[in-house]
Amino acid sequence: MMKREIGHSGIFVNAIGLGCMGLSEFYGPAVETSDGVALLHAAIEAGVNHFDTAQLYGMGANETLLGEAFHDRRDKVVIATKFGPVRDKETGAFLDVDGSEANMRSAIEDSLRFLKTDHVDLYYLHRVDLKTPIEDTVGAMAKLVEEGKVRALGLSEASADTLRRANAVHPISALQSEYSIFSRDIEDGPLKGVRDIGASLVAYSPLGRGLLTGRYTADYKPAKGDFRSAATQPRFEDEAFKANLELVEEVKAIAIAHNAKPAQIALAWVLGQGEDILTIPGTTKLANLESNLRGSEIGLGGEERARLDALADQVKGARYPASRSSNINA
Ligand code: ATR
């Protein structure tokens, strides 16, 4: 196993953790609770100890699932969760991002209750609230550290400037942003900020939301409840999707040369970008999780890296639609 520290928090985790979102929402129907708990227990046995959730995922359902799985083995897991986005309780529609202390206070109490724990290891602001100064939000989050409810702080999809301002209030241990062979836009700004302040990058969607696993073919149609569609994910829009599938062929070719899976190559690429990078691929299946963990054992050669490095500029479609981009790298 490859162990890495989350910033300078003193919290060490396996460099490959588990992004838990897809167990409850956005990638099709939620898994049955018993199946989800079984997967989470098996993940611990397989060596995973960094589990990433958020209040947003299933509006508490994902945290509740983790609580069910981990309440009797809390010392074996590092739990990261997030607050900020506000949704309509009836419809689930996204209403706002609220980084105020009042919203944080109610969110953390819900999270602790759902997670059946008295502390969260890593607490993130899920998206930057453009109306509330980051100093105010992080100042409030720092109180949770003093109170023992939270061990370390993080931001998600924040810019380098926001990271520096936040870190001046309280050490920021992690930036969680999308980072993969297909998504490298953070390199010019946020990733530099991470390095300036001595934090870690927690790379989400390292598999390009599944694209980089080679599982898709041109006839893919999103299932009910799967947000990988043209409206919410521009890279899955018909023409872009077909062009992006062509690029995956290069990842597949490198996988064949290593007798490996494309997903393992995608993870090896991310982890090879720096010792300050952790990653949290998502999966609902134990076989995929076990296979993905072997990604940290693969060493890519310089020529292979160069071939993979060349792909991001050719990807068609933005990470998010314009309507959801205002607090990306914000
Ligand atoms: P996110 O961080 O948003 O969860 P990701 O990690 O880039 O995104 O990709 C997650 C997607 O990749 C999921 O749809 C997952 O599907 P399963 O639940 O069916 O596994 C898919 N995925 C993960 N590992 C995979 C693997 N080894 N082979 C095929 N698909 C995989």
Q: How many domains does the chain have?
A: 1
Q: Is residue 76 domain-resident?
A: yes
- Residues of the chain short of pLDDT 50, as ranges, are none
Distance of alpha carbon 296 from alpha carbon 38, whole angstroms: 24
Q: Is residue 219 domain-resident?
A: no
For residue 99, give the CATH number of its domain: 3.20.20.100
Residue count of the chain: 330
Other Cβ atoms less than 10 A from the Cβ of 319: the count is: 22
Q: Is residue 322 domain-resident?
A: no
Cα separations (Å) of 132 from 72, 152, 189, 207, 293? Answer: 37, 21, 21, 32, 39
Choice from 180, 232, 283, 298 to test ligand 1 binding pocket (greatest atom count within 8 A of CB): 283
Q: Is residue 34 domain-resident?
A: yes
The residue segments making up the domain with residue 88 are: 3-207+271-297
Query: What is the 1 CA–ligand 1 centroid distance (Å)?
Result: 20
Q: Is residue 73 domain-resident?
A: yes
Residues forming the active site:
57
Q: Is residue 203 domain-resident?
A: yes
| Residue 63 φ/ψ, nearest 5 degrees | -65, -40
Q: Quick: pLDDT tens for 175-230.
A: 999 999 999 999 999 999 999 999 999 999 999 999 999 999 999 888 888 989 87
Q: CB-side exposure of 191: number of CA atoms within 13 Å?
A: 19
Q: What is the DSSP string of 235-261?
A: GGSHHHHHHHHHHHHHHHHHHHHTT--
Q: Is residue 309 domain-resident?
A: no
Q: Quick: pLDDT tens for 86-100.
A: 999 999 999 999 999
Binding-site residues, ligand 1, Cβ < 6 A: 19, 21-22, 27, 204-210, 213, 215, 261, 263, 281-285, 288, 291-292
The pTM (predicted TM-score) of the whole model is: 0.98
Q: Is residue 179 domain-resident?
A: yes
